[in-house]
Each structure stands twice: as structure tokens, then as C-alpha cells.
Amino acid sequence: MLEIINVTKKFGSFTAVNNLNLKIEAGDFFGFLGQNGAGKTTTIKMISGLYNPTFGKIRINGFDINKDPIKAKSLIGYIPDQPFIYEKLTGREFLFFCGGLYSIEKLILKNRIDEIIEKLEIGDWVDKRTEEYSQGMKQRITIASALLHDPKLLLVDEPMVGLDPQSALIVKNILTEKAQNGAAVFMSTHSLNVAEEICTRIGIIKDGNMIFSDTKEVLENIKGNDNQNLESLFLQLTK
Amino acid sequence: MKHVFHILLYKILIFLKVNSPINFYSILKSLGSGIVYIAFAYGCFVMTFNTIDYLLVTVKIGSFLLHRFILIVLFIFFIAINVGNMVVSFSTLYKSKEVFFLITKPISFTKIFLIKFLDNFFYSSATLLLIITSVLLGYGYYFDLNFWFYPFALFFLILPFMFTAGALGVIVLLIVLIMSGRWGIKKVIVSIGLIYIVSVVSFYFISNPIHLVERVFDYYPNIDQYFGFLENSSIKFLPNYWISESLYWTSQHKIERAIPFVYANIITSLLVFGAALLIANKFYYKTWLTSLKVNAELKSKTKNQFSILGFHKKSYLNGFDESILKREFYLFFREPSQWLHLLVMLFLITVFISSISGIDFIIEKAYNEYLKTLVYLIVSLFNIFLVASFSLRFVFPLISLEGEALWKIRSAPINFNSLLRKRLTIYFLIIFFIGQLISFFSNLQFPVALSLVAQLNSALTSITLISLNFGMGGIFANYRERNAIRLASSSGASITFLLTLIYLLIIIVVLFFPVSNYFYSEANGLNISIWNLLSTSIVLAVLALIVSYTFIKLGLKSFRQDV
């Protein structure tokens, strides 16, 4: 579903991501870990088409994100870490707007919006302007907008930031359900507990270099052998 | 004052650090900007010198009428600064995140008000100051004034004048919000708006420039004397009159007669500023709280508002076009600063068109073809200036405003060029139509051939200016700024404005000879060549083609860069 081939991203002389290689299949739930400034958000922004890689290729279901952006992006649902949305639109209007960008037929879109609103427990807030929303409610609308077109690849950047426990549980359930239904989920997070709980594969990036990428089982084995938890293993690897 | 200086110092630091990453592109951009500023300042100087020379030597309107012309220009400046400050201050004093931050710190509200007022005033007046300085240089050089005239005029005439306009704007805003707490924002805006309109229109009736020109012409050819006795005494209480009088007497090397006006100007400025501080001291926090209520009141009609254009309604457009069109509509009409500014600009256009109705009189009574040419050029330039203002205010911020939900747009399976072209088309059609209307009504008094050429030229200049603002908006895109007014007064917008003024100079050069030839031929019964007039349109068409191709391409390209 997602292929990252020899991808490097430089900002002037600074290398944010260095020769990254990764392959994620449908149904995988990939947890992308790393310290602040390690290159997680840059990687996600390159996959979503916000940044162009300096070198290398990114393919979504075979479509190159830079050469064939429209086909590639139609398969992606992107949930950013800072969900800026049009403050003057209501949540529902924003969702209709997003549906229009993916050319979803009006009746299907209407039903999809109702369904997702219910699932994310947005309630009456959906008809209020988003400038009145809390951080958590904005995050829920952002997630809803990413699910509207039933994406095959879900890119999630720090999904739990600013969420109350109830919202966090809803988000976890939805992301897990998406992966179980055959979508690939690529999630960057600082929450090691969340990664350990819901991801099937884990990648750790440090200073732009991928220093670990394997299944959760392999990670469990390393943990077991060294008799430590994920937190201490992460701290050791990223030291 | 320690707090104020401390915060202002950091603000200056932030301003200086804006262009800190040094690379080839940023150096090229800064160099280009510098060249535009210098070329513009020089162009302004030369144009001022030549315009005064043309008016006094060729058209022979006399020094008194020249300064009354300056008086009207100053009035327009005053209104522009005043209204601009009113609109921008609502965002900076009440909606800015910085205010929310400062309020949580142990700083008095009066100090926060002062910091934001100064920040706002200098941020939005920087370009205007550059223009005025260049104009003063041209003016002083023409009248062979001493070196002391320049700092004197800048610090004792122009800056206090602008300060009065800005402070008065903020006072009106404070009054609007104080009254809103009791009567509701909509009623207060309508009432204050009406009072404002009546005051502006009264100025034209009281000063009655056309009547003044007529009475001065009665003394022709002895018009190079002081005709103050012909004026309505009410205008003698206005700051623009004091500046005009100060300049008149200074140009006549009778400084002692200018002093009382300079004094009145400075005292008024200090009094108005003091009044603003006093009102702010008592009411700023209260009005800040009111503004939260006002915002809630303006938000309250979310449901069923514009229900015909609801997103859920069936549409004949495809999903993408419908989304873009409706988003544009909602975001525009739900942001008070957008539609309020549009209303103010439309009001100024109405004042302009109605005040132009007396031009047929000047045309008929003009004693030479140069005066007729001058009137035609002024009307044409004002038309273009209005279109330029619309473009700068509404087209320049287009690309930057995509920043509000850029993550969604950039990650969606859409063609960015198509998105931007569609948005540009919406604004293009509206501004183009407004430009055509202004041109039609303001040229009714001129001969048919000139009106038709003006109509055609207006279309071509609209294309040029809209494309220029779109492209420059892309080159100087700031995706972090969500306030359209601040975007339209950023440094990129200032450079665009200067480029626009250079374009206006080109138009003067292109129009001058064909138009004066036309009036000369008409006055002397010679054959009138329409081709001569149409040649101006050909030059403007070529310019429109080059500018629109280049700048639309640059604008579209800029959106593809990393953000």
C-alpha cells in the first residue's frame, strides 16, 4: 500500500530525513516513534504531498505521490497534528466541503457524514462554527474529514494530543477498526503505551534515520530478552 | 512606560528577524524589493515635481488652486487612514492572539492598547510614509525650499496628521463597542456608518471644489494670488486644511503665516491621541469583553444562514466546484472584516462617482486643452486606483488564505492550478465588473470616443492589476497569517502597491499625448484620430498580456513549494 524508497528530505544544509526505506501493507498498523525533531512529521508531510522529497520516491498503491498526485491522494486520509480548519464554517459544512474535494456523490456524502458524526460522538457540535470548538472537538472533525472517502491509507500525526480519555478511546477504536477492515494506518505518536497497545508494526526514527523497523512481536522479543519495557527500550535506542 | 518599551523592543526584533534565513532566493527577493522601493521613491519624486510644474506652468491653475487640490488629496488620505485603522484595529485590538497573551500578564490594559495602537499604526502606514516622503522631496525641490523643510514637514505636519486620523479611527471603534454593549452591534454599526457617510459627503458639499474652481477662474489670468476669502469658513477647522495652508505659505516663503496651522495640527493630534488613551484607559477592557459578546452575536446566526446555498442542497455544479464556490462565499460573508471593508470601499466609490458629476462643467469651461487632459487623466487614474485597491485587498491575500486549512487542500486529490484559477475567476469577475461600472459612470461626461477608450482601458488595466496582485500574493505568501487585512498591508503587499503605482505612471505616459492631442484637435477644429487613442489600448493590452501570463504563472507555481 505504501512504499517509501530511498527518501531524503533536506531543508538547506539540514537533513530532516535521511535515505528512508519502508513498505507498509494493507491491514498494517504502523506506529512511527521518535523524539521531537527526529523527522516523523516531515515524513508524514512527504507521504501526504505537503512536502516534496529532495531525493527518492513515495508510492501509494503503486501511484507516485509526486508524479501522479491526484490518484495517490485519493487513497489517503490525512490527520495532521495541528488541525487548522475554517473557523467560519460549521463542522458539517467543513465535512461537506471536504467531501466535495474527493468528488463524493451528495447523497452518499450525506449518509457518510451522519454515520461518522455518530461514530465520533460529535453530536450537536457539528452544526456550530468550528471557532467555538475545543481542541478535542476540532480533532474529531479532522478525523471525520479524513474518513469520509474511505481511504486505503490513513496518515495520522500525533492523534492523541489534547484529547480527553473518552475522545482518545474513540480515536483508538476507529483507527484499529480501519486497520482491521484492510486499510493501512501510518501513525506517528509520542505515546508509547498507545503504540504498544494498537500497532502491529513499529518504526523508530532518530535524527532522520530509521533505527528500528519491524513487527511488534520482534520488539516484544527484544524487550523480553533484555527484560525491559518499551519506554526504557525506546530511551535506550534513541539515546 | 518600561513595559511598553520592553514589548516594542521585542516587536522590532521580531520584525527584523522575519527575513532571517539567508539563501539565494531570499537575497534575490530582498534585492528586487529594494530596487522596487528605490525606483518607486525616485518615480514619486520625479512625478511630483513634473505634476506641479505641469499644473503651474502648462495648465496655469495657480498656487492657490494647486494647494486646494492637495487639500482634497489629503482628505482622501485622512479617510483612508481613518477607515483603515478602524477596520484593522478591530482585529488587532480585540481578536489578536497577542492581546489574549498580554492580558494574562501583569500589564495594564492602557499599555496593551498603546502597544497595539502603535504597532497597528506604523505597520499599516509604512508604505504611505514612504510615498509621502518622496512626494515631499519632489514638492520641496520644486519650490526650492530649505533643507529644514523636509524633517519639519514630516514630523510636524504629516505624522501628526496621520496620527490624528489613526487615533480618531480607534476612538470611533471604541465608541462603537461601548455603545454595542447597550444597543447591539448591528444597530450601532448602521447608525455610526450613516453619521460617517453624512460627514464625508458634507465635506464635499461644504468645500465645493468645483464652485471654488469656477470662482477662481473668474479672476483669470490673475489667478496666482491667495483666494482664501472665496472659501467656506467651515473647512478651516479641518486638519487637511491646516496642512494645505501650511504648505501654501511655506511654498510662498512666508513661514510666519504657516506657524498657526502647524501649531493647530500638532495640538489636535496630541489632543485626539490623549482622548483615545483616556477612553481606552476607562473602556478598553470593557470593550474587549463586549467584543467577545459581539463576536458571539455575529456567530449566532449560523444555522439556516444562507440556506439556499447550504452545502447539503443539491447542486448542478460538480462536487469540487461546488465546494470551492460555497467555501469562498461562506468564509467571505461570515468574516465581518471582509464584507465590512467591501462595503466601505463601495461607499467610497459611490462618493467618487457622485462627486465626479460636476466634471462636465469643468470640461466645458476649461480654458485650455491641458486642463481637460488633466481632468481626464485624474478620472482615469482614480478609476484604476480603485480597481488596484480592490485587487490588493481581496486578490493579494487569496493564496495566503489557503493556509487556514492547507493540510486538507494539499493532501486532497485535486488539481491546485484548477483550484486557484477558479478562486481567481470568482474575484476577477467581481472586480472586473466593478471596474467597468466605475469606468462607465465616471466617464459619462467625456466625449464618446474618450469614454469608449476609457472603458476598454479599464478592462485591460483590471486584467493587469488582478494578475499582478495574484502573482505577488503567491510570491509573498504567508500561510500562517489568517487575517486578510494584515496580509493586504504586509511588506509584500506594500511592494505590490508600489509596483501598481509604477504601472499608474506608465499609464500616464501612455495616455498623455493621445489625449491632449484629442482635446487640441477638438478645440482647433482639426481631424480627430481615433487610432491615436486606440494606440493606448494596444500598449495596455500588450502589458496586460505580459503581466497576466507572468504573474499568474508565478502565483500558481508558488503554491507548489514546501509549506
User: In this structure, what are the phi and psi dihedrals at residue A56, rounded to the nearest 5 degrees?
Assistant: 95, 180
pLDDT tens-digit series, residues B319-352: 788 888 888 888 888 887 788 778 878 877 877 7
B415: contact with A, CB 8 A cutoff? yes
Contact B411 A72 (CB under 8 A): no
Contact A110 B413 (CB under 8 A): no
Residues from chain B that touch A104, judged by Cβ atoms under 8 A, are 319
Residue B295 has a pLDDT of: 67
3-state secondary structure chain A: CEEEEEEEEEECCEEEEEEEEEEECCCCEEEEEECCCCCHHHHHHHHHCCCCCCEEEEEECCEECCCCHHHHHCCEEEECCCCCCCCCCEHHHHHHHHHHHCCCCHHHHHHHHHHHHHHCCCHHHHHCEHHHCCHHHHHHHHHHHHHCCCCCEEEEECCCCCCCHHHHHHHHHHHHHHHHCCCEEEEECCCHHHHHHHCCEEEEEECCEEEEEEEHHHHHHHHHHHCCCHHHHHHHHCC
In the β-sheet with A14-24, what is the strand arrangement from edge to edge? A14-24, A2-11, A55-60, A63-64
Q: Do the Cβ atoms of B89 and B169 come closer than 8 Å?
A: yes
Number of C-beta neighbours around residue B135 at 10 A: 21
> Cα separation of B317 and B563, whole Å?
30
3-state secondary structure B166-231: HHHHHHHHHHHHHHHHHHCHHHHHHHHHHHHHHHHHHHHHHHCHHHHHHHHHCCCCCCCCCCHHHC
Q: Which of B100-109, B396-405, B427-436 has the highest mean predicted lDDT (pLDDT)?
A: B427-436
Q: Do the Cβ atoms of A71 and B415 come closer than 8 Å?
A: no
> Cα separation of B383 and B458, whole Å?
8
Residue B296 has a pLDDT of: 64
Q: What angle do CA B3, B7, B9 make, to 5 degrees?
A: 115
Residues from chain A that touch B406, judged by Cβ atoms under 8 A, are 50, 84
First to last CA, chain B: 39
> Cα separation of B90 and A206, whole Å?
45
pLDDT tens-digit series, residues B140-159: 999 999 889 999 999 999 99
B237 exposed, middle or buried (CB, 10 Å; 0-12, 13-18, 19+)?
Answer: exposed
Distance from CA of A192 to the nearest CA of B (A): 26
Q: Distance from CA of residue B402 to its chain's centroid?
A: 24
> Cα separation of B247 and B139, whole Å?
9
Coil, helix or strand at residue B146: coil
For residue A103, the chain B residue with the least C-alpha distance is B319
ipTM for the assembly: 0.71
For residue A70, the chain B residue with the least C-alpha distance is B413
For residue A103, give the nearest of B315, B318, B330 by CB distance.
B318
pLDDT tens-digit series, residues B60-75: 888 898 898 899 888 8
Report the predicted TM-score, pTM, of the whole model to 2 decimal places: 0.73
Number of C-beta neighbours around residue B194 at 10 A: 10
Residue B238 DSSP one-character state: S
Q: Which of B448, B458, B451, B445 is nearest to B383 (CA)?
A: B458
Residue B301 has a pLDDT of: 54
Strands A153-157 and A201-206: unpaired
Interface mutation target, options B97, B334, B408, B563, chain A, most CBs of A under 10 Å: B408
Which of A8-12, A224-228, B432-436 is predicted least confidently?
A224-228
Q: Do the Cβ atoms of B126 and B494 come closer than 8 Å?
A: yes
Residue B259 has a pLDDT of: 93
> Cα separation of A156 and B403, whole Å?
20
User: In this structure, what are the phi and psi dihedrals at residue B287, rounded to the nearest 5 degrees?
Assistant: -70, -30
Strands A184-188 and A153-157: parallel
User: CA distances (Å), B292 to each of A95, B85, B315, in order?
Assistant: 27, 20, 36
Write the Ramachandran bin of B23: left for phi over 0, alpha for psi from -120 to 50, otherwise beta: beta
Beta bridge partners of A57: A5
Beta bridge partners of A24: A2
> Cα separation of B122 and B491, whole Å?
12
Residue B236 pLDDT grade (very low, low, confident, very high; cuts 50, 70, 90): confident
> Cα separation of B108 and B11, whole Å?
18
Interface mutation target, options A9, A45, A79, A101, chain B, most CBs of B under 10 Å: A101
Instruction: Please say if the pLDDT value at position B274 is more than 90.
Output: yes
Instruction: Please say if the pLDDT value at position B298 is more than 80.
Output: no
Residues from chain B that touch A139, judged by Cβ atoms under 8 A, are none
> Cα separation of B314 and B317, whole Å?
9
Instruction: Please say if the pLDDT value at position B114 is more than 70.
Output: yes
pLDDT tens-digit series, residues B76-91: 888 888 888 887 888 7
User: CA distances (Å), B563 to each of A42, A46, A49, A161, B405, in order?
Assistant: 11, 11, 10, 22, 12
